[in-house]
Structure 1
């Protein structure tokens, strides 16, 4: 990622670690959006009967309940 952005890796890591920076906020927003897309796709696979997707979805729901 740092190479694509043309910044030193240590600077990117520092900026991501500091939750007050715009870089960190954009990084975490993008990461969350990717997770939502993956979970949605897994739900779609569960709906059509994929055993692995069903198990993963079940585990994700249990994890969400634990987090509440």
Structure 2
């Protein structure tokens, strides 16, 4: 099994709690999968979803 091209398209929503901003992300993900069992090769594009959460913090006022 080999993985080829992969990528995602996500949206992010957050709330400003100066100086930090918690956020959530969600979107669609895709990847090219290549299978080889010794007899034949097969290549498929698979689509799924992605989700996550994070926290951004302001370090200084001027940057």
TM-score normalised to structure 2 length: 0.19
Give the structure with the larger helix fraction: 1
Question: Relative contact order, CA 8 A, sep 6+: which one is greater?
Answer: 2
**What's the TM-score once normalised by structure 1's chain length?**
0.18
Structure showing greater Rg: 2
